[in-house]
Amino acid sequence: METNSNTPKHRNAKIGMGLILITFGSLLMGRNLGLEIPFWLTSWPVLLIAIGIFSGIKHQFKKPGSYILILIGTVFLIDKLIPGYQFHELIFPLIITGLGVILILRRNEHNFKHCGGWHNKQFRETH
C-alpha cells in the first residue's frame, strides 16, 4: 500500500514537526544571542519530549514510541535540572518495574479473542 505524501494528515504532520523544530531552533538562537532563556528549555531532552508528545498526538497515543521518547527525555531532563543527582541510573529498574505493572494491569486480549470474548455464551458460563 502506497502512502500519499499529499494527504492532509501527512501535511499536518510535516507542519507540526516543522513548527517544533522552528520553535526549538529559535529558542536556541535566542539563547546564543544573549536572551534570558532557561538552559533546560534548549536542551536535547526537551526536544525528545516535544517530538514524543507530537508523535503521541499524531497517533492518538496508541503507539509506544511516543511514550519511550517522552520517558527518555524526562529522565535526562531531570538529570539536568537536579545537579548531582543521577536519575538516569534508575531508568533500567524503572523500565523493568513498568513492564511488570503493564503485564499485570493490561487485559489479556489474546484470551478474549481466542474464545470470542464476553459475548460468547460458553465463555460466560465457564468464567
Where are the chain's structural domains? 1-85, 87-127
Helix (H) or strand (E) holding 68: helix 64-81
pLDDT of 93 reads 82
Q: What is the pLDDT of residues 8-47, one digit of tens each?
A: 777 777 888 888 889 989 998 998 999 998 888 888 999 8
Give the tens place of pLDDT for each residue, 99-120.
Answer: 888 888 876 655 545 555 555 5
**Sign of the alpha-carbon torsion through 15, 18, 23, 24:** positive
Instruction: From 83, 82, 79, 10, select the one nearest 45 (Cα to Cα).
Output: 79
At a CB cut-off of 8 Å and minimum separation 6, what does 86 contact?
79
Q: What is the pTM of this model?
A: 0.60
Residue 61 per-residue DSSP state: T
